[in-house]
Structure 1
Amino acid sequence: MPKLCCFVCLITILFQLTNLASSKRQQVPTPPLPLSPLPSFSQLKWQQRELIMFLHFGVNTFTDSEWGTGNENPEIFNPLGLDANQWVNTAAEAGVSLMILTAKHHDGFCLWPSKFTEHSVTHSPWKHGRGDVVQELVNAAKARGVDVGLYLSPWDRHDPRYGHDLQYNEYYLAQLQELLTRYGDVREIWFDGAKGSNAPNMSYYFTDWFAMVKELQSSINIFSDAGPDVRWVGNEKGFAGSTCWSTINRTSLSIGNGSIVDYLSTGDAKGTDWLPAECDVSIRKGWFWHKSETPKKLSELLEIYYNSVGRNCVMLLNVPPNTTGLISETDVQRLREFGTAIDTIFSKNLAENCFVKASSQRAGKGGGFGPENVLDDDHLRTYWAPRDGDGISDDHWIEIRAADEGLRFNVIRIQEAIGLGQRIKRHEIFVDGKLVAEGTTVGHKKLHRLENGVIDGHVVRIKIKESRAVPLISSIGLHFDPYWHPNRQSLT
């Protein structure tokens, strides 16, 4: 009988310990609910690239033109010094992780040996007709760990099938299949609606094209005016709207529709689709290389960066190879300066050793959603979340407090935990109680380059004035930009 009592007591104690452990597990704070729509895995990876590169290259490079006629003789294409390793090294040194090549531009000339046309490198003198620019880029990029994207122009001024819907769409799909099956993983495919006013009437079977792309490359991002993965920002200056939502209504979009550029630039707070914007711009005036042109000033490139990456977008910078088949040394140097400048500004977070406090935090102190998360190295999965029950219209704030010596900075960075949706609609920033900046959306990254220049301060408070749901801030940075001189124009 005593043994039985001891056994019952043991069972009772084990049961109680199990319940206690289970109770503790149940008390672990859970994350807040996501706010739809949400980004896909490939969209998140694309957003984190921030700076990517375009390579406009083809027969236009040799004719000093932007839009070819389609009547160019393939024999003019002969880049005797072509070195894709130089392209990739130039990109990688500037922090670029994705390069998009114009495999075919509007002139219809193909930079790979397509078996569906003779208007390609096969009939050029370059490498005696045995060259393949796409393969050269893929090989060089793989060696440096850089990803590749491709542009296949829907408008084709050379092929006689253009203007005949069925025949041309079959031709276009055949070339898509070549590009997406021969060259390994392609991370972005670029479609646009560019077409001359005198071009034949032509219906593009975009739905079929996109379906084929996703069948062949499931992790690829499709870019066009209407997505479905990445949208055009609505201009070729590289500037997004000061308000820029990653959300938008795809049903309101169509490719080649010039009347929707403002909507593309700002997005839609009530949008039902996650479709972030890409800002395309060229390092020179033109998209193809022209001997008479020079690269933009460093100050111009930084201005574009702040108004693209700093407005919740990805910056797509075109850097065209020249007739030799190399990126010109002036462009190489400017890209090197640009990459160095970005690293100089943002490699150091002046707030990293500061004290952080907030208006409230989800699940209380130690719950895993405290304000200290905004200063760690994870800018996506860890974040500060306000307390449960706080209304979305309440003023939420988070504060950076410096040591006695204070801080000296002229750039303020804010990032949202966009994996759970884009939320912030309006915010204000105060330094030592004085309003220094205000804005609307934040998204992946908002950069405030302070209009009055450098500030010396001790307390930086960010107030969220309005949001679609409880705001989730993943990262805050205070930075010093030595290139920013708001009261005088840079000569660089």
Structure 2
Amino acid sequence: MNSLAKTKQAWSRLGYGMFIHFGVNTFAGTGWGDGTFPAEAFRPEGAAPEQWADVAAKAGMKYAVLTAKHHDGFCLWPSKHTGYSVKASGVPDLVRSFAGAFRARGLKVGLYYSLWDRNCACYEDDAKYADYMKFQLEELLTGYGDILELWFDGGWDKDSPAKDWSREPAPDEEPDGRRWFWKELYAHIHRIQPECLVIQNSSSNRPGRVRYLPADVRTSEHYHFIFEEKECVPPADGIVIDPDSGEPLELPIEFCTTLTPDWFWKAGACYSHPSAACIADWRLQAARMGGNLLLNIGPDAKGRIPACHQPFLTEARELFEKNAPEAIRPQAHAAASSENPLTQRNRL
């Protein structure tokens, strides 16, 4: 078994992580910024990654994924390749403080990176933009220690027919990642960190699918809608076939959803979130399907996770540990296997 396969097994045993959407959108009051919001307006009064890490640890989470760069292109680290970053806002390097705070509490660190960039001047020049991404990813992979996973999003912008993100592509329209230079990007990542897992969001209307290969993990966005309906069926209906070798691929799955209706914090967020029992149930269903649950919690404009969310997360941990069968509790969580009917794979 190679080192990447061992990493996938170890990743599958983590079970539960925190997704953290934080950036200029937190201040703009939107989910998808257009890249024009002033960097100088990103002024969290006291961004506290230590508090985020404390909340995650108390909730029983084992890793976290921070939005290093969302669709707006704003970077939470002082990238040398753009002026649209914390460097322009006078805020310290948030990727660095995030990584340090979570590792200090024994939690693994992952980063979200949007392929779609609504600020970058070279975005429409595919080759130049691919180089831009490589430069930025090299900064993240060489400057912040071991990265558990890189979570890519926004791939649909360059490969969806007429940019219609809502409909399923026809067989002859299946995305292949060529405009993103995806295969080169994947190889670049693994040249720098061979054990970093690469995840490519398939979008919420294609749960459990893989947008492009190569990839290391499947994802299923907003899968809690199925959980709530109690339709606990496999998120996929076949297998992922490697287009180069023709062989089936064993890809573990990560279910991601958000604690509030929006990925980024918005005023009034405390008035709309699921119960502790519901969160525990999402986690239980994900574990039964052999996957991890990545639960998003957006820090507020002060840079802190609102206090109103914290008791629910702690209570959810207690309920999960009380009610989960021994076989899927954190200490006994097994990696997904092809013998488990709940871990079927999906054909591209």
- TM-score normalised per structure 2: 0.80
Contact 1:88 1:140 (8 Å CA) reproduced: yes
SS state at 2:180 partner: coil
Residue number among 330, 338, 360 corresponding to 2:316 in the alignment: 338
The aligned residue for residue 422 of structure 1 is 338
Residue number among 72, 78, 88 corresponding to 1:113 in the alignment: 78
Q: How does 1:349-368 map to 2 (within 5 A)?
A: 349=326
Post-superposition Cα deviations, 1:13-67, rounded to whole Å, max 9, x if no partner, equal: xxxxxxxxxxxxxxxxxxxxxxx9xx81011111111111110000000011000
Residue number among 115, 137, 149 corresponding to 1:188 in the alignment: 149
Contact 2:26 2:300 (8 Å CA) reproduced: yes
The aligned residue for residue 459 of structure 1 is none
Q: Does 1:289 align with 2:265?
A: yes
Residue number among 289, 294, 300 corresponding to 1:316 in the alignment: 294
The whole-number CA distance in structure 2 between the counterparts of 1:159 and 1:378 is: 44
Contact 2:277 2:319 (8 Å CA) reproduced: no
CA shift for structure 1 position 320? 0.8
Q: How does 1:160-309 map to 2 (within 5 A)?
A: 160-192=121-153, 193-195=155-157, 203-224=179-200, 225=210, 226=212, 228-233=215-220, 235-237=222-224, 239=226, 242-243=233-234, 248-251=239-242, 272-293=248-269, 294-309=272-287
Contact 1:65 1:288 (8 Å CA) reproduced: yes
The whole-number CA distance in structure 2 between the counterparts of 1:232 and 1:59 is: 25
The whole-number CA distance in structure 2 between the counterparts of 1:238 and 1:216 is: 37
SS state at 1:190 partner: strand
The whole-number CA distance in structure 2 between the counterparts of 1:123 and 1:92 is: 32
SS state at 1:307 partner: helix
Shift in alpha-carbon separation, 1:111–1:301, aligned structure 2, 3 A? same
In the alignment, residue 295 of structure 1 is paired with which amino acid?
H
The aligned residue for residue 11 of structure 2 is 46
The whole-number CA distance in structure 2 between the counterparts of 1:97 and 1:246 is: 29
- TM-score normalised per structure 1: 0.57
The whole-number CA distance in structure 2 between the counterparts of 1:344 and 1:378 is: 13
The aligned residue for residue 465 of structure 1 is none
The whole-number CA distance in structure 1 between the counterparts of 2:6 and 2:100 is: 25
The aligned residue for residue 12 of structure 1 is none
The aligned residue for residue 400 of structure 1 is none
Shift in alpha-carbon separation, 1:229–1:328, aligned structure 2, 3 A? same
Contact 1:239 1:304 (8 Å CA) reproduced: no
In the alignment, residue 338 of structure 2 is paired with which amino acid?
Q
SS state at 2:66 partner: strand
The aligned residue for residue 356 of structure 1 is none
In the alignment, residue 274 of structure 2 is paired with which amino acid?
K
Shift in alpha-carbon separation, 1:184–1:65, aligned structure 2, 3 A? same
In the alignment, residue 30 of structure 2 is paired with which amino acid?
S
Contact 1:246 1:276 (8 Å CA) reproduced: no
The whole-number CA distance in structure 2 between the counterparts of 1:70 and 1:322 is: 20
Contact 2:218 2:252 (8 Å CA) reproduced: yes
The aligned residue for residue 205 of structure 2 is none
The whole-number CA distance in structure 1 between the counterparts of 2:130 and 2:289 is: 36
Contact 1:238 1:280 (8 Å CA) reproduced: no
The whole-number CA distance in structure 2 between the counterparts of 1:189 and 1:97 is: 16
Q: Does 1:91 align with 2:56?
A: yes
The whole-number CA distance in structure 2 between the counterparts of 1:161 and 1:99 is: 30
Q: State the superposition RMSD in angstroms.
A: 3.1
CA shift for structure 1 position 337? 1.4
The whole-number CA distance in structure 1 between the counterparts of 2:20 and 2:126 is: 29
The aligned residue for residue 79 of structure 1 is 44
Shift in alpha-carbon separation, 1:236–1:205, aligned structure 2, 3 A? farther
The whole-number CA distance in structure 2 between the counterparts of 1:237 and 1:344 is: 21
Residue number among 82, 93, 98 corresponding to 1:132 in the alignment: 93
CA shift for structure 1 position 237? 3.2
Where does structure 2 lack aligned partners over 5 or more consecutive residues? Answer: 164-176, 201-209
The whole-number CA distance in structure 1 between the counterparts of 2:59 and 2:180 is: 36
CA shift for structure 1 position 191? 1.1
Where does structure 1 lack aligned partners over 5 or more consecutive residues? Answer: 1-35, 254-269, 350-373, 381-414, 425-440, 445-492
In the alignment, residue 76 of structure 1 is paired with which amino acid?
A
CA shift for structure 1 position 167? 1.0
Shift in alpha-carbon separation, 1:209–1:245, aligned structure 2, 3 A? same
Q: How does 1:51-66 map to 2 (within 5 A)?
A: 51-66=16-31
The whole-number CA distance in structure 2 between the counterparts of 1:443 and 1:230 is: 12
The aligned residue for residue 119 of structure 2 is 158
SS state at 1:191 partner: strand
The whole-number CA distance in structure 2 between the counterparts of 1:378 and 1:166 is: 45
